[in-house]
Structure 1
């Protein structure tokens, strides 16, 4: 299958959701709640999830969605619910044809709540299932750093389409990451990129705009001939990834540049287009498992751009086990030519800890 329609709907849905998140990004009060795991969620998360799931269900009514958020708190908190509804009903693409493709605006506040709750799939190895993170990197979103709107289609457990909307990354694929790329960011002119990939068809980037779709350009990971000059990416939050292990690995690899710490799957997009080179996310505990919505889109985009993505034991990420990567530990992403070397050092450092 070409998945042309799925890619078009996914790109437009992410584009429309990013318009909403950008509105919230500029507000000092973002309607923040704490979930059961103490992670934050904002009115932007809820609104973006509603818009994206509504578009999926309009076009592919039998598809399931694994979404990060659910609407029980909004059904109790009418003030928060009303804030989100105002955002959702006021967000649209300027292109009427694109809006028609997405199914038009959500009909009512209650339809919005139902759309949010339609992200309740358990995931699995059979059928068509979308993995959605409406705002990946909510802490980065709150602090004014990097974040991403992430959407991927899995068919029988394999990722076939991946889209990332990164409002605060430069449009220009040639702009290299620097040590401060993850903090004090804006979505000003020249910022905002939409990464996209279809299995077997390569990866692309295009400007993330509010009017029409920008020109699509093929992207490739950069060839790394000198590891001392490689750009190493990791999560900003120490609770998400072991900075000490990753520092030891970077040292053994001979990497001399300071690591780039940023939130969200913006890291996947950045290394896919050669703005960075290596992304490590190593578990902070033996029992921690990643959520599928945090990796599905980025995994495909990097692999289609000429990279390799495995866990810390060299296994491909397995998105068929439900809502988490139950059979994987950590993430190692790098250009295919050097991935095995990076992985061997990862294993060496991890083995030394036992």
Structure 2
């Protein structure tokens, strides 16, 4: 039985509504001209709107829980932030049951300012992960996790553009992934409340496996990935996509190994980038694959 049944229900609602507001931003604000000019305004609006939605819903049910978020309202305050603030307010209210005024909107965004720590309960939120994928109309994700005493207990991820069935890429899109410690990982469609338990692939040899990696070579070295694949005798093409949707794809067996090779020695990840992955995968299979991978590449000079 779920220990965090109430949190699970609230988190699902929050992520679904945040995903909805991101989709509205894309339909209303993203255009060919936006992408050509590399205008990041839609991403900014989606980020703030999604964070306001999630934080508002979490606060209503769990007012004492702090939130580690990505945004703060500093740039939205005053006359300089008026236009974008009004857009964010309108979009946020379009998916909430009870509308916010401007001050409540800014307060909701700023509830994500908790610095984190290993004591007590807290939520971590990445309101829109995969900004380039979002602007291209490809993969992005809304990512929310509950941490208790430094341990991840619950994760919910919304992937609005991810195909429900990997083998039917032109079919229905919009997947929600839910994982709770000791309860397994599940997928449901945005259009349904029915959940299906998911599993990583049953591949038993690295040579038969496939990588899942970033679209952007700046995020993970494609050249190094190709060297590793060649060394291991891997011939399947890599599955490339933006955002933490990669974790979900590995979790349901679309690909076998998530590979991220930093392109800078000083690169550091944020807490919201990896929190959900902990319970999205079958640890035993991943550990076995990674041990074999390590044994084969430990002497390979990639850097």
Task: Give the ranges of 4+ consecutive aligned residues of structure 1 lying more than 6 Å apart after TM superposition.
Answer: none
1:264 to 233, 243, 252: 243
* CA drift at 1:229: 3.6
- Asked whether the 8 Å contact 1:268–1:299 carries over to 2, the reply is no
Report how many residues are paired. 294
Alpha-carbon distance in 2 for matches of 1:127, 1:205: 28
215-224 or 336-345, larger mean C-alpha shift = 336-345
Q: Measure how far apart 1:138 and its partner are.
A: 0.9
Give the whole-Å Cα distance in 2 for the aligned partners of 1:33 and 1:73. Answer: 14
Q: Which structure's residues are more often helix, by fraction? A: 2
The 3-state SS of whatever aligns with 1:130 is strand
Q: Distance in 2 between matches of 1:208 and 1:79?
A: 31
The answer as to 2:275 corresponding to 1:296 is: yes
Matched residue of 1:275: which SS? Answer: coil
Give the direction of change, closer, same or farther, for the CA distance of 1:307–1:16 in structure 2 (3 Å limit).
Answer: same
| Equivalent pair of 1:176/1:276 in contact (CA under 8 Å) | no
Q: Note the C-alpha offset of 1:47.
A: 0.4
Cα deviation 1:270-328 (Å, max 9, x = unaligned): 110111111011221221111111111123212xxx136xxxxxxxxxxxxxxxxxxxx
Are 2:289 and 1:338 equivalent residues in the alignment? yes
Rounded Cα–Cα distance in structure 2 between residues aligned with 1:126 and 1:195: 26
Which residue of 2 is the match for residue 194 of structure 1?
176
Match of 2:64 in 1: 62
Within 5 Å, give how 1:212-227 maps onto structure 2.
213-227=192-206
TM (normalized to structure 2)?
A: 0.90
Q: Is the 8 A contact 1:49 1:69 kept in 2?
A: yes
What is the deviation of 1:117? 1.2
Counterpart pick for 2:232 among 248, 253, 258: 253
The Cα shift of 1:225 comes to 3.1
1:82 corresponds, among 81, 86, 90, to 86
1:206 partnered with 2:188: yes
Q: 1:107 to 1:11 in 2, by over 3 A?
A: same
CA distances 1:15-58 after superposition (whole Å, capped 9, x unpaired): 11111111112234489548xxxxx9421111010000111111
Say if 1:54 and 1:106, in contact at 8 Å, map to a contact too.
no
Give unmatched runs, 5+ long, in structure 2.
Answer: none
For residue 280 of structure 2, give the secondary structure of its aligned residue in structure 1.
helix
Structure 1: how far apart are the matches of 2:108 and 2:299?
Answer: 46
Residues 1:126 and 2:119 aligned together: yes
Is 2:215 the partner of 1:236? yes
In the TM superposition, residue 264 of structure 1 has moved relative to its aligned partner by: 0.6
TM-score, normalised to structure 1, is 0.77
Where 1:73 maps in the other structure, the secondary structure is helix
**2:283 equivalent in structure 1:** 307
